[in-house]
Structure 1
Amino acid sequence: MDITSTLLMRPDQDGLLDLIISPTRAGRGTLAVDKTLATSALIAFQSDRRAQEDDELPNSLDGLLSQVDALRARRGWVGDVLLDGTRLGSRLWLLSRGKYDELDRRLGAAYAEEALDPICDWHGVDKSVSASLENGNRLSVRAVIGRVTLSYHLGGGV
């Protein structure tokens, strides 16, 4: 299953972007950790959120699983237990099962909204989310949050 993602970044009115290079002693630079909108949105959109108990997992799991395998199958970040019920990431990964029908289109939009809601609240920005089916074998989810555009594609090649 092909999964591609694109983060489109445009400079603000001062020509600044959310990518920050911090100089190092060797004259090279490293990406700095930041809390800007683009970084927060990208992490929320591209990280796997833990599947809920009633979610259909992409790969049907035959037989009995060990407890460890069952935990891994639902993915997600273990640090969520420290966040008072807040879950990070998106459940878009659940759609990799490859059906790509109208239900998947609606779920794709809902999963994107769910992932970006806390980021919008934190940064005080609006969002717009859309999902479309292309050629019967590709699902595309697009989100605009503030001045950041994110896209997520499943199926149909790159």
Structure 2
Amino acid sequence: MAVDTTPVTPMLLSIGLDARALDGDVLPDGRTQWSANPSSFQERRGSPGDALDGDGRFAGSRLWLLSRSKQSEETRLLTEYYARDSLFWAEDMTGDVAEIEAWWHARNMLGLRCSVAGEAITVSKRIDR
């Protein structure tokens, strides 16, 4: 067994998990298959790790909120904001601030590159509108 001491695994978890929506966040749909109540637990999502975290910060990112956004500069900037917000731990844990870059690489497809302490991940995010 090998232990990964790079920030790659925490970056993948931070970007890949769905963070719980904040009270002021606009939800993509307003309804789910489980409930018509927009404030229901299922609709606001969240990571199972949130139950273990006592500092009030949620694990994961709120990138899922953009799933029904339009292809626009505002959506690209929100992508960078949500990614940066999810990597809040980087400076405390590594001493380096996370570097974030988002771009439209195809119709309705965002590219996202996150780099911490010289290690980078690149992911794509589909925007459905």
TM value normalised by structure 1: 0.66
Greater Rg, structure 1 or structure 2? 1
Unaligned runs of 5+ in 1: 1-21, 23-31
1:93-126 Cα deviation digits (max 9, x unpaired): 1111141211111100001101112133212223
Q: Does the CA-based 8 Å contact 2:62-2:82 persist in structure 1?
A: yes
Question: Structure 1 residue 37 and structure 2 residue 7: aligned?
Answer: yes
Paired letter, 1:64: A
Q: Does the CA-based 8 Å contact 2:49-2:59 persist in structure 1?
A: no
Q: Which moved more, 1:128-137 or 1:55-64?
A: 55-64
Q: Does the CA-based 8 Å contact 1:98-1:155 persist in structure 2?
A: no
Say which of 37, 62, 69 aligns to 1:91: 62
Q: Which residue of 2 aligns with 1:76?
A: 46
Structure 1 residues 64 and 137: CA distance shift in structure 2, 3 A: closer
Q: Which residue of 2 aligns with 1:121?
A: 92
Q: Which residue of 1 aligns with 2:102?
A: 131
Q: Does the CA-based 8 Å contact 2:90-2:97 persist in structure 1?
A: no
Q: Which residue of 2 aligns with 1:58?
A: 28
Unaligned runs of 5+ in 2: none
Percent identity, aligned pairs only, is 33
Say which of 4, 8, 16 aligns to 1:46: 16
Structure 1 residues 73 and 128: CA distance shift in structure 2, 3 A: same
CA deviation after TM superposition for structure 1 residue 72, in Å: 0.9
TM value normalised by structure 2: 0.79
Paired letter, 1:75: R
Q: Which residue of 2 aligns with 1:27?
A: none
CA deviation after TM superposition for structure 1 residue 54, in Å: 1.6
CA deviation after TM superposition for structure 1 residue 66, in Å: 8.6
Q: How many Å separate the matches in 2 of 1:96 and 1:53?
A: 18
CA deviation after TM superposition for structure 1 residue 136, in Å: 4.3
